[in-house]
Chain A
């Protein structure tokens, strides 16, 4: 696998970019990586159902220890029924002022820590977060979220040569300062940005949106490198088809 030690930022604007999360989840599981999924938006069964269409069984992966899932919707409620002393990854939900995400980072670190003993050797560790914007809605400040991603990058990417993939939403025209700081801060930290945008002209049956791929922090600074590409896409039942702008089979 050529891409290692990288932070990939998935971003969506005026559309739903979660298909990218499902893609990366099935991609890394098929590539035999150890995956930690911080699922704050959907239930485990949702990811499982979509994963099955893409050819992976999340249940089986979880049973064999390849996949660790933090189900935010379920464990978010647990926080309130546990004794205070026990640390919980979503501890910030209980605090009066949200503070930092150190417990969540500790959860990720413990989940992906390479183990020397006996276990089947997985390829590089991968962290998938779906998604980071919801943390802002839950009261965490943008700098705290950036710090969490920083630490994940330092540990998973830099130390363990794994990959981190996070989804964040672009609030667009709505003047959400916190969301903008989060998105821009993450963009500066990322090596690769995949941006799914709705079409400017509105909803279309045959072209669901366009995907902009932006390489940031190239290792070699060059001026002539093609730094960004744009494709349009259509999401189908079991796959996504990509084509160059204006070249959808439906309009040719």
Chain B
């Protein structure tokens, strides 16, 4: 993925977690020789570093906001100034060389800082104030932020989205993870892309082709799907002829133009109906009209 200057928040959900992807991106940056600063709010340093080899761990600086973010511990283990100062301090640390800042997570920061303050600080962090010409390419700062989508309303989500040059939303199908990537470049139309991927145990990112369409989503691979109409004692299927006959049937209450014509001109080409009657011995056939003697 191309390196943007503005923060791309990988958005995850409970079912498709994003920390593995964040770690994979951190690993990529470290392998490029960049220094990586991680502001860790949700997991311990030990847990975040797990799975990385010593080469990557040596390039990773972990700013621990996990152990005591709100200064509740008696001998204070907190970073001075609390979460906001810790975030602002990252700006001052990344003066030399290209660097990546990973925020784990933006959701935690959003819960503990006012949204406008957070957005302003992120804006300053990604150096948008300086013109692109001033900052030499080697000193660009890439900011990655992990955001848990379900924890926030549309307002804060929208505000953070507007800051981001790239948005990666995680989902998946049948155990296979996918990323919806929305890329916004200045003066260009936003581009949308879906990328299937998997993350290996050493946090290398492996891009994959789309899984075949024949596989049904959300079907349990262990149980074969059963056709419920197979062992019935009555017939639910229609043969081709039956289906054609059924389709060509006009329903009695549908008033089509043919029907209208037929009603307006009765008797033309219409078969008249006959009644066949065979009288038996006891019938009294009287041809007179029984109403004749009525004096009306």
Contact = CB atoms under 8 A, between A and B. Distances in A.
A100 B70 contact: yes
A146 interface: yes
Given A105-B72, A184-B150, A223-B175, A158 B14 contact: no
B148 interface: yes
B173 to A, nearest CB: 11
Given A187-B14, A189-B42, A151 B111 contact: no
Interface size bracket, A side:
20 to 34
A169 to B, nearest CB: 16
Interface in A159-218: 177, 180-181, 184-185, 187-189, 216-217
B121 interface: no
A154 interface: yes
Interface in B136-181: 148, 150-151, 153, 175-177
B198 interface: yes
A221 B151 contact: no
B85 interface: no
A248 interface: no
B20 A221 contact: yes
B75 interface: no
Nearest to B67: A154
A147 B70 contact: yes
Contacts of A97: none
A180 B148 CA distance: 13
A138 interface: no
B148 A188 contact: yes
Given A223-B175, A223-B176, A102 B111 contact: no
A154 B150 CA distance: 23
Q: Interface size class for chain B?
A: 20 to 34
B199 A158 contact: no
Interface in B14-28: 14, 17, 19-20
Interface in A95-119: 100, 102, 105-106
B170 to A, nearest CB: 12
A224 B175 contact: yes
A219 interface: yes
Contacts of B190: none
Give the secondary structure class of A's interface: helix
Given A151-B72, A217-B19, A220-B51, A184 B175 contact: no
A45 interface: no
B148 A184 contact: yes
B112 A221 contact: no
B46 interface: yes
Nearest to B70: A147
Contact of B44 (A158, A177, A181, A188): A158
Contacts of B111: 143, 146
A143 to B, nearest CB: 5
Contacts of B198: 223
B72 A185 contact: no
A222 B201 CA distance: 7
B201 A216 contact: no
Interface in B95-120: 107, 111-112
A188 B42 contact: yes
Contacts of A53: none
B14 A154 contact: no
B91 interface: no
Nearest to B12: A188
A144 to B, nearest CB: 10
Contacts of A23: none
A227 interface: yes
Nearest to A181: B151
A221 B199 contact: yes
B14 A220 contact: no
A188 B170 CA distance: 14
A187 B14 CA distance: 6
Contacts of B44: 154, 158
B202 to A, nearest CB: 9
A107 to B, nearest CB: 12
A16 B59 CA distance: 48
Contacts of A177: 153
Nearest to A186: B14
B175 A227 contact: yes
Contacts of B112: 143
20 contacts: A147-B69, A147-B70, A150-B42, A151-B72, A154-B66, A158-B44, A158-B66, A184-B148, A185-B148, A185-B151, A187-B14, A188-B42, A216-B14, A217-B19, A219-B50, A220-B201, A221-B200, A221-B203, A223-B198, A223-B199
Nearest 5 A/B pairs, CB to CB: A221-B20, A187-B14, A184-B150, A223-B198, A221-B199
Given A185-B151, A216-B14, 4 more contacts: A106-B72, A158-B67, A180-B150, A223-B199
